[in-house]
Amino acid sequence: MRKIFKLKKIEIFLIMGFIISFYSFSMLIGYCSNSASEIIERNRFHRRYKDVEIAINNLEELESIEQMIDNIYDLGIRKFTSKYLTSAQEPVKESQENVLRNEVLGAYGSFDMGEYCEIEGRNFTSEETMSNEKIAIIGERVNDYIYEINNEKYIKLFNDDYKVIGILKNTKNFSRTTIIPFKSLNFINNNYDKFGFLVSKDEYKKLEELSKEKYSTEINAMPTKFIVSYLYQIEDVFRECIFQLILSLANLILFSVFIASDMKKDISIMKVLGCTNRDVFKEIIKKNIKVATIGNLIGIVLFKISSSIIDVAFVSKIGNTFTTNMIITSIICYCISILISIATLKNILKFKVIKEIR
């Protein structure tokens, strides 16, 4: 055991290189997974709903939102919401400077946000989604904009006080989304000539039963994006990822070459003494694992500390996939290090004593 942790000066230098590589790869994976999780969640939600526009043909026969909701429900459609409505959340604390753009969904029927993320507190009952009760389930980022009335938590939406009964947790896409009963909107009885809904992809075909003389219906797929193209559009994240990737690879390759160079003498002696390549591979793997493991362990501690600080300061910029991140990063570091070392020592590995004697 003492022999394993007895380190030469060159090994201490190499360990420092692995600390940098591990830390850089961890930050890279953290940035990418955190940014990608938002688009993955959004795509998952968008694939389950259709974007529906319903227009009234005769402008002299306008209808209220409540009437249109009842018309859709009477068709047998049970899972639908409003399109995203925007409510500007004004700061309620002196420390808050910015107005939050809160995306509000008016839920109706069997719509359940619990299918897409965790809810701390409680979810709506089916009766509540169909009522006009002013209650809300809010995203984590909206949590800072709540206030108390008689020891109950509330949030201001469209100039009305909504009681907060739940908070959406562990979600990126819905972190600033608020869910309320559709009929609780204070403009539900206003008349309009056009309406927008998100209707379940399993039920939208029932809209064909709407009177074509009275209504014009347009149905479109909800937009989805590829993860890579989405990351590319977020310039600061994309630049950060490219920088971390270049730094990680360059550093890991460089220090893997140093490890191999430090092993050349010992490997050469092993080959002269007649050791097989299998024995040599074992020695290469042993040396890499020894140096990489110590570097990785220190890198894990540094990453955990820095990611915790960044998540608090910049609202979950790194993400909460710590264990997965560590496993992926460790595998990458071990594999690249061993492969580079073998490639660097390939000429020595090809050397055969018996052949040279002959």
- Do 208 and 273 lie in one domain? The reply is no
**Residue 219 domain-assigned?**
no
Q: Which domain holds residue 279?
A: 9-39+229-357
Longest dimension (CA), the chain: 103
Q: Domain total for the chain?
A: 2
**Residue 45 domain-assigned?**
no
Angstrom distance (rounded) from CA 199 to CA 184: 19
- Do 240 and 349 lie in one domain? The reply is yes
- Do 180 and 241 lie in one domain? The reply is no
**Residue 193 domain-assigned?**
yes
φ, ψ of residue 338 in degrees (nearest 5): -65, -45
In the listed set 169, 188, 213, which residue is the last one of a domain according to the structure? Answer: 213
Angle (CA) 148-149-152 rounded to 5° is 70
Angstrom distance (rounded) from CA 317 to CA 175: 12
- Do 208 and 234 lie in one domain? The reply is no
Take residue 89 and report the two structure tokens written for it: 């959340």
CA distances from 277 to 140, 152, 283, 326, 334 (A): 56, 71, 10, 31, 19
Residues 6+ apart with CB under 8 A from 94: none
The predicted-structure confidence for 234-272, as pLDDT tens digits, reads as follows: 666 667 677 777 877 887 788 778 777 777 777 777 777
- Do 68 and 94 lie in one domain? The reply is yes
- pLDDT confidence of residue 276: 76
**Residue 223 domain-assigned?**
no
Angstrom distance (rounded) from CA 195 to CA 217: 10
- pLDDT confidence of residue 285: 80
| pTM of this structure | 0.68
- pLDDT confidence of residue 326: 72
Distance from chain centroid for Cα 231:
11
- Do 179 and 203 lie in one domain? The reply is yes
Take residue 300 and report the two structure tokens written for it: 């894990």
In the listed set 213, 247, 264, which residue is the last one of a domain according to the structure? Answer: 213
**Residue 48 domain-assigned?**
no
Residue 211's SS3 state is coil
- Do 145 and 172 lie in one domain? The reply is yes
- pLDDT confidence of residue 142: 85
User: What DSSP element (H or E) covers 149?
Assistant: strand 147-149
In the listed set 153, 187, 213, which residue is the last one of a domain according to the structure? Answer: 213
- Do 79 and 200 lie in one domain? The reply is yes
The stretches in the chain having pLDDT less than 50 are: 1-4, 95, 313, 315, 353, 356-358
- Do 189 and 62 lie in one domain? The reply is yes
**Residue 323 domain-assigned?**
yes
**Residue 148 domain-assigned?**
yes
**Residue 153 domain-assigned?**
yes
- Do 252 and 347 lie in one domain? The reply is yes
- Do 353 and 265 lie in one domain? The reply is yes
Angstrom distance (rounded) from CA 328 to CA 185: 46
- Do 263 and 292 lie in one domain? The reply is yes
Take residue 290 and report the two structure tokens written for it: 């020894």
Contact 70, 241 (CB under 8 A): no
